[in-house]
Structure 1
């Protein structure tokens, strides 16, 4: 039975605890190299090209960023609910903050929804809100990095996780609303980032430099304390943030330049990176969970099947010895109940009872060993002796059903190595099936057993009957567990035979006879110590 595909309990399975593999590191490095390559191409002069102003670009870009960051925040909050980590709470709040800051930025951006913005002129407040967003995310990243590995006081999580998340959402929303009001009300008093609705001031260069430095500090801390897949991809996000700030602020010193548009594209890419990785890891985890559930279900069904098989096997195999015990006991009673008891014959009947009881005990032990996957000691055997022993066991049944036996046994066969009771069990099953097949048929009832050399290294035993033969289409299924063509059959006899012969490194098969009946064959390899 295959071992279920179940992850160990101590194996990390979330993005924030799963260590990055070599493929993840190579992919992240490739993404960063693409970022830097695009930066060098744009910094070579292409970014200074002034393009046509597209007012609809800002709301489209803002909404795409808002959706990406909100979904990422929700997924990270979900991981916080699992891990109860302050670090995860910090980075979740960071993504929520950047998502919420996009809303006022779009509303005050001149020309996005109104010529002067929906919430005022927006000449300075637009870019101050954007600068706060650029500064806020690396701040939360730094908090995430410093809080990693810090065990929070247990009392912090005594309340509901949902309440903690709602509190974080409420406080973040309050901060965003406060800074929005301050930026709009104090628009005229804020340091000048914009000279006009298109061109940046010199102060914007210094502010952008500070923001890039702040992102560089966050990137350095992540590099030093990198432990998980989330850390790895946050490094790529922070790198994209820094490139976005540079392209938006420096080249051309104007909005709607090629660099400004390219910077927004970098911003979109940075917002979707962690989201893609989160969705990939969640999908992977779901697939692993699905496989684990299916494996557990198969294991449960296999255990139930094994239990059914054990009970059916015991019932199937013990029936014949019990029949012998019953018949011998009745015969013994009959000999004793006579006017002059036939003590010798009664003793013979009782001896048959003892022999059948010993065989029943051996069969039960063999079945238990078989389902424990244990290995019974094997000895050097003469297969012809095994055949004769099996014929002795079923002798009464053969005589009762008036079946003649023709044994064509090669007395010069090499010895085999095997377990006598198990091989005898196979023969008793095959002979018993042959008897059942012939018992309902008129005409000649002949059981033929043959032993011979097969393929130079095997002994082959064939059991042929003159019964009703195989039903059409059953050749491939007849050895399957629980499959039977008998009205009162259990479908375990031939399955057990195949299992026993397989354990002896042999094969068992069946072929329809040219006339009535069927022929069963099984092979067992020679005993290496005695084969000539």
Structure 2
């Protein structure tokens, strides 16, 4: 039985690209295009033959494509996506074909190549290699169109992956036999080991690559789609370069091989980069969960202390009333009216204890992660109360400017309180090195009907200009013993509430953290 996975932007195949990634992709394509155009006047320039060039390059391509295929198969095992399965199969195909290409290339390991290769063999394998990924990209785009965004990952996924690997392996073996044992059945496309008759791949490969680019472009929605477009663009430029010359070991021939190397690298780099980013987010999420768990434990301790006090009161009263009742009953002539009063007191105190216990049960049944309407001023004051001891210990003076008629916000009280505590403690610790001026911490809150803005400003040394762009990134810190996760957690919490957080240096030289949260408007709910 399969497990329905809730769609979350956790993998490169589902994670939407951000503007920075889109700009970077455009830059890569433009640069590759400019280099291509610049090399056209030199397309007939012949360079020295390097017999080791092809086996070395093909080895690198094999490693890159095989790792990429393995990572994509890992995504398939999680999502059960048939479109990703097609793309992973394409990368596995190119990885295996390029091995055979290296073995059969004339001059690499023997004058005519290994495996009984002839003059035509390696060039046909090069054509198969160039066609493999565009075909896989076309299948990927077509299969993705009808694929649900929440995929079914079940027991059959592993069987599909094994079947895919087997089919690709058989296909590569079959093509290898065709171009070696059955080479005489194929038309000649090479005059000798360095010159071909005509660019037989141009009428077939280039239209296929263009079709793949168009299909992926129309169905793009993830980081994987973005980098696949860059890969296909590099593949197209390489094919255009090859079509401009009939000679191996020319400038454009070497250049086309480097474009092939770039094309193979883009998706792998995207997978590795996104994996690193997601690992950092997972670390932040784990730390947040631990922090919330510790916060809940502290709340439980405090609650139990209050409950113990509250429950002890009715229990003590019940005990005293019970003792008084026994004394009354021990008399020769007990007063029934007195006993009635005592018993009513016992019943009342029993109900009171029951209400306290029911209140505790209701509290633990409540979902703490559920958003609630929050008073910003109370939220800030409670956070400052929590850190008042540390602030005093560090010799910091706090001044507050909290608006009297601020709109409320809606969110998780514990998480937003944690943001304020983190920012205040960061500011307090940053002022430890200040000895020539007052250690002043300013906390302000203002806003309108749309947004609430909280500002936490200190008189410390300020933010290092080199950290302006990375201060909220995971594991970035200026503290010798810091983890670099505090501000990253703050950003995650604020953004999960639809807000923004920024950091600037103030006119006094210190740092100012600005948190903006949407105001709560019940009419929009």
State TM-score, norm by structure 2. 0.58
Preserved contact between residue 103 and residue 114 of structure 2 (Cα < 8 Å): yes
In 2 relative to 1, CA 327–182 (structure 1 residues): closer, same or farther, beyond 3 Å?
closer
Provide the aligned C-alpha RMSD in A: 4.1
The answer on 1:38 being equivalent to 2:35 is yes
Preserved contact between residue 213 and residue 233 of structure 2 (Cα < 8 Å): yes
Name the CA distance, whole Å, in 2 between partners of 1:362 and 1:89: 58
Name the CA distance, whole Å, in 1 between partners of 2:128 and 2:105: 15
Name the CA distance, whole Å, in 2 between partners of 1:167 and 1:29: 36
In 2 relative to 1, CA 366–13 (structure 1 residues): closer, same or farther, beyond 3 Å?
closer
- Of 235, 246, 264, which aligns to 1:271? 264
Unaligned runs of 5+ in 1: 1-7, 339-352, 376-532
The answer on 1:128 being equivalent to 2:124 is yes
Match in the other structure for 2:229: 235
Q: Give the alignment of 1:413-428 within 5 angstroms.
A: none
In 2 relative to 1, CA 220–362 (structure 1 residues): closer, same or farther, beyond 3 Å?
closer
For residue 209 of structure 1, report the CA deviation from its aligned partner. 4.0
The answer on 1:220 being equivalent to 2:214 is yes
The answer on 1:73 being equivalent to 2:69 is yes
The answer on 1:181 being equivalent to 2:177 is yes
Name the CA distance, whole Å, in 1 between partners of 2:355 and 2:226: 63
* Per-residue deviation, residues 80-139 of structure 1 (Å, max 9, x unmatched): 222222211111111111111111101100111222211234311110111011122211
Name the CA distance, whole Å, in 2 between partners of 1:77 and 1:60: 26
In 2 relative to 1, CA 23–332 (structure 1 residues): closer, same or farther, beyond 3 Å?
same
Match in the other structure for 1:56: 52
Q: Give the alignment of 1:319-398 within 5 angstroms.
A: none
Preserved contact between residue 226 and residue 232 of structure 1 (Cα < 8 Å): yes
Match in the other structure for 1:167: 163
- Of 110, 131, 135, which aligns to 1:139? 135
Name the CA distance, whole Å, in 2 between partners of 1:167 and 1:23: 38
Q: Give the alignment of 1:441-460 within 5 angstroms.
A: none
Name the CA distance, whole Å, in 2 between partners of 1:273 and 1:287: 21
Name the CA distance, whole Å, in 1 between partners of 2:176 and 2:325: 105
For residue 283 of structure 1, report the CA deviation from its aligned partner. 2.3
Larger Cα-atom Rg: 1
The answer on 1:196 being equivalent to 2:189 is no
Match in the other structure for 1:453: none
State TM-score, norm by structure 1. 0.57
Unaligned runs of 5+ in 2: 332-345, 374-525
For residue 321 of structure 1, report the CA deviation from its aligned partner. 9.5
For residue 143 of structure 1, report the CA deviation from its aligned partner. 1.3
Name the CA distance, whole Å, in 1 between partners of 2:13 and 2:63: 22
- Of 10, 19, 24, which aligns to 2:16? 19
In 2 relative to 1, CA 117–370 (structure 1 residues): closer, same or farther, beyond 3 Å?
closer
* Per-residue deviation, residues 32-68 of structure 1 (Å, max 9, x unmatched): 11110111122232x4332222222111111111111
* Per-residue deviation, residues 171-196 of structure 1 (Å, max 9, x unmatched): 11111111111101233443332222
Q: Give the alignment of 1:470-485 within 5 angstroms.
A: none
Name the CA distance, whole Å, in 1 between partners of 2:35 and 2:233: 13
Query: Which SS does the other structure have where 2:145 is aligned?
Result: coil
Preserved contact between residue 123 and residue 187 of structure 1 (Cα < 8 Å): no
Name the CA distance, whole Å, in 1 between partners of 2:209 and 2:272: 25
Name the CA distance, whole Å, in 1 between partners of 2:247 and 2:221: 40
Name the CA distance, whole Å, in 2 between partners of 1:329 and 1:362: 20
Q: Give the alignment of 1:290-305 within 5 angstroms.
A: 290-305=283-298
* Per-residue deviation, residues 383-431 of structure 1 (Å, max 9, x unmatched): xxxxxxxxxxxxxxxxxxxxxxxxxxxxxxxxxxxxxxxxxxxxxxxxx
Name the CA distance, whole Å, in 2 between partners of 1:224 and 1:362: 62
In 2 relative to 1, CA 237–291 (structure 1 residues): closer, same or farther, beyond 3 Å?
same
